[in-house]
Amino acid sequence: MATRTAQRKERLLVDGEWVDGADVIPVTDLADGGHFAEVVAATPEQAEDALAAAQRAEATMRETTIVERGEWCEEIADRLEARTEEIAEVIVREAGKPIGSARGEVGSAAERFRRAAEEIRHIKGEFREGTTSGHEGWEAVVKHEPVGTVLCITPYNYPLATTALQVAPALAAGNSVVLKPATKTPVSAAILADVMRDVVPEGAINLVTGHGSEIGDVLAGDDRVNAIAMTGSSGAGKHVAYESGMVNLHMELGGNAPQLVFPDADLDEAAAAAAKGSLKYAGQRCSAISRVLAHEEIHDDLVARIDDAMDDWKQGDLFDEDTDLGPLISEDQADWVEELVEDALDKGATLVRGGGRDGLTYEPTLLADVPHDARILQEEQFGPVCAVTSVADEDEAVDIANGGDLALDACVFTADYDRAMRLADVVDAGAVRINGAPSHGLGDIPFGGNRDSGIGREGIDASIHAFMRKKSIVL
């Protein structure tokens, strides 16, 4: 177990200056209990100040070159890596991630800044000629320019890596940023702001910590915001969309990824994917496999193999290198997971393993024969639960997969190429993986959701384009 560092206090960053406040928010220590840090709770007026600073910085940012911004991203990546152990400890404590996963998150964040530097160097303008009657001889240069100010609203589950996925493309594209991190995990975002403060112009990065109920609408509803990048729940996303004005919305929201498994699949691979997809970071991932739709011929066999695969997942001390999963983020989240499991059991599901809870720690849980009307098959759970239900054929699997309001990720396990492509076409999801668990990776492949799971597609290149606009200069 690591020795806890002295309690930290993180302030707001506005126009290149650290700003204090009268009220603070304690940050829970999920490793050792109690609190390990506190952050300033911004007032609406301080949120306004951050927006004003970002707007003032737009002119400076617009004059920067792709070369400059690429070099900034590379320097930020280097500085993050230099503080790996410090940041990893923070992620362990505020997010409840095992130390190995926390270190990996720092590496992923740094790599996302490096990839943003690479992608922005591939941005190229266009030369167009008039091709319609009356426009003969017209010539035009079509160039990219930043949208202005990007509001980044980041989640608790990947407090540094997802923040980098939003901030790096916004910065690379030449925008000012106002960063509002999740209230439960704001410290790693504050460290990123500290790193960026020494690299980018004043006002290009502004950090506003605080309660969403007090400053969320102030930020999202302000006309100085030109784009909003958000990762969070569907309900929160809808609220932000309602409050926002004429802005680019770039949202990755709730998920409830189905895994469709057929008799011709490699069942050992399917079982390993189900276990990892359900248990990684205690299931608190939008891309987590939340429900397994197993063909009735192999339901029992697959359940037995998933049960065996779960043996490899260890709960324990978050600073132990061998620990695989930790606690849930809050009592409310643990209550929610417990509620969904109890609903499934009340309706006739079989508890194969787990189901127990000790405070925020919920045991890795495997449910079999889950009835089709169980809520866990259609509602986002965000817990370490693998819910397996039986389906008679492809049509029934698709009906269940598409039955809810969420459509972020899905996966299909089969040896039949035609079946795989057929199902990939009809399952409603932003991404469908064949014979592998859903994974968003570093952002080299665009990802995002349909319906209540989001607007637009994320990814380094995709996000850079979302945070730029085209201007046509007719010659």
Give residue 177's identity as a one-letter amino acid code.
Answer: V
- In the structure, how many helices (H) and strands (E) does the chain have? 14, 25
Give residue 279's identity as a one-letter amino acid code.
Answer: L
270 membership: H or E segment, kind and range: helix 267-279
HSE toward the beta carbon, residue 380, CA cutoff 13 A: 22
Burial per residue of 248-280, b for 16 or more beta-carbon CB atoms within 10 angstroms, e otherwise: bbbbbbbbbbbbbbbeebebeebbbbbbbbbbb
Distance spanning both ends of the chain, measured CA to CA: 66
Q: Is 252 a catalytic residue?
A: yes
Exposed, middle or buried by CB within 10 Å (0-12, 13-18, 19+), for 3?
Answer: exposed
* Backbone dihedral region for residue 393 (phi beyond 0: left; psi -120 to 50: alpha; all else: beta): beta
Question: Is residue 400 within 8 Å of residue 389, measured between CB atoms?
Answer: yes
**Which residue among the candidates 252, 338, 379, 380 is catalytic per the annotation?**
252
Active-site positions read 252
